[in-house]
Amino acid sequence: MSRFDQQPAPELIDAAFRFETEDAPLLHHDLTLCDLAHLLHLNELALIPAYAAPRLLRLVLELDNDVQIYDPARGDGFTNREAWLTARAPDVAGYYATGRARREATTVAFRLRVRRELLGLTRANIALQTALLDLAAQHVETVMSDYTYLQQAHPTTFAHYLLTFVYPLRRDFTRVREAFTLLNQSPAGIGSTNGSRLPLDRQRLAGLLGFDAVIPHARDAMWQVDAPVQALSAAATLLLHLDRLAEDLQIFNSTEFGMIELADEFARASVIMPHKKNPYSLAFVRGVANALLARVTEMYAIARTPSAQVDNRILAHGAVPRALELATRSVRLVTGVLRTLRVNTERMRRWVDAGFTQATDVAELLAAENGLPYATAHQIVARVVRELMAQNQTARELTVALLDAAAREITGHALQLDAAQLAAALDPMTIVSTRSGLGGAAPIRVREMIDDCRADLEMQRAWTDETARRIEDAETHLLEQAKAIATTV
């Protein structure tokens, strides 16, 4: 008999219960796995009658095929499942809740779902890094202007530019893996908050569900708030890096830059303007990055409660898996964009030739050959650049005579510089080749970095595949055990 003598108010059902049941389908299969592991363990310990276990396991396996069972009038996901079992086997359904609170079941299921989403995000990240490296390998000697503040800076290569994003994605892999490690610890078997008087083996339950470890403290296991925050934070950081790439590509894709063009299948036509080809994929990814940053903030905000409150839990159950799934789809979208991207190498080179990206090298040459302080050499070159720009000329018109005249005005002395030295300092590919230090844009260094990143990718892929295999094996074994007992008479 219930402690209550009244049914839940319609307002409670329509607000809180509806909110929970709308998210329950996201955890449906994972709740099934939790149920199966718990019932199997109860059966192992003889904590439920021998005749009850086969029937309950059989019904839970059947329930896994019916994701439409959740009715707000019956409360949350756990109580809906309990009601479904009671309607079909009232004589044994009462054993379903033995030794666990409703929140334990959903807490475990939430972790199962989130760890699966994190592995999916990791796989997508690996594919994205692969696409970046493949594209970089094609453009090791494709000269382009590097930009700072959206102003031309130095000559570089498209390959070196692309590697800018591979290294952050490598760090993103580490962040996601760390979040996975935290999530892949089991809260199963805690009873409620201080453990259970039943002889539940928490290590056994963790093994049945494919967890790598057990959360040591029962109350912490039930009420952790940092795990979902860390998972979302890792995903949001990854999307932050994609936003930076997407913003750059959107600018490079503009008519004014014309350095790249999105394939038709990753763009969208304007309804009113026939000439337009909107880079919709890039705009969408930028929007998702903003949304994930907001979701992380939301998770921080709802975690600010006393140490054993449900409000942070119910708001995370749907929000976190959905956000991670959206992040993964967005990563895949950017991968598709890169795989089909058209690169206008001639336009890239044209912008280099049309500006003064060589100015730094010229100033460094003056300083080295004439013993000048760099600030003085900077002043000389800056004056010549200003004069040429006023005449709508480019670095191609920069001569020893112009530099010498500016030096005489500023220092009172002539320069020691010949035309061959200046020509080398003005050649974009020669400039790139001088960047041969660690991490530089010289082709030899870029190829080394590509090889290093590909080797790291193999380690990422090996960890992901092995981790996924262990989890899949645990789930397969769990289902096999459950089916074996379910078919006994």
Mean pLDDT of 142-167: 96
Q: What phi and psi, each to the nearest 5 degrees, are found at residue 454?
A: -65, -40
pLDDT in tens, 292-340: 999 999 999 888 888 877 666 788 899 999 999 999 999 999 999 999 9
- On the question of a common fold for 111-198+211-349 and 359-426, the answer reads no
pLDDT of 1 higher than 70: no
Share above pLDDT 70 across residues of the chain, in percent, rounded to a whole number: 99
β-pair type (185-186, 151-157)? unpaired
pLDDT in tens, 190-245: 987 888 999 999 999 999 999 999 999 999 988 888 999 999 999 999 999 999 99
10 Å Cβ neighbour count for 10?
Answer: 10
Q: How confident is the model at residue 160 (pLDDT cuts 50, 70, 90)?
A: very high
Cβ distance 263 to 351 under 8 Å?
no
Q: Quote the pLDDT of residue 489.
A: 63
Integer Cα distance of 404 and 398 in angstroms: 11
Q: Quote the pLDDT of residue 406.
A: 95
Instruction: Provide the sign of the torsion angle of the four alpha carbons 249, 254, 256, 258, taken in this order.
Output: positive
Integer Cα distance of 45 and 58 in angstroms: 19
Mean pLDDT of 36-47: 97
What are the sequence ranges of the domains in the chain? 10-98, 111-198+211-349, 359-426
Q: How confident is the model at residue 103 (pLDDT cuts 50, 70, 90)?
A: confident
pLDDT in tens, 134-148: 999 999 999 999 999
* Both tokens assigned to 214: 């057990």
Rg over CA atoms, the chain? 31
pLDDT in tens, 8-22: 999 999 999 999 999
Q: Quote the pLDDT of residue 3.
A: 73
What kind of architecture, by CATH, is found in domain 111-198+211-349? Up-down Bundle (1.20)
β-pair type (277-278, 268-269)? antiparallel
Find the helix or strand (DSSP H, E) in which 268 lies: strand 268-269
Where does 303-418 have alpha helices with state H? 311-339, 345-353, 359-370, 374-390, 400-411
> Which residues on neighbouring strands pair with residue 277, listed in sequence order?
269
pLDDT in tens, 256-272: 999 999 999 999 988 88
Look at residues 246, 280, 248 and name the one whose alpha carbon lies nearest to residue 263: 280
Cβ distance 311 to 302 under 8 Å?
yes
pLDDT in tens, 345-356: 999 999 999 999
How far from 404 is each of 377, 409, 416, CA to CA, in Å? 11, 9, 9
Whole-number mean pLDDT of the chain?
Answer: 94
pLDDT in tens, 273-299: 888 899 999 999 999 999 999 999 999
pLDDT in tens, 338-389: 999 999 999 999 999 999 999 999 999 999 999 999 999 999 999 999 999 9
The CATH number fitting domain 359-426, selected from 3.40.50, 1.20.5, 2.60.60, 1.10.40: 1.10.40
How far out from the chain centre does Cα 180 lie? 12
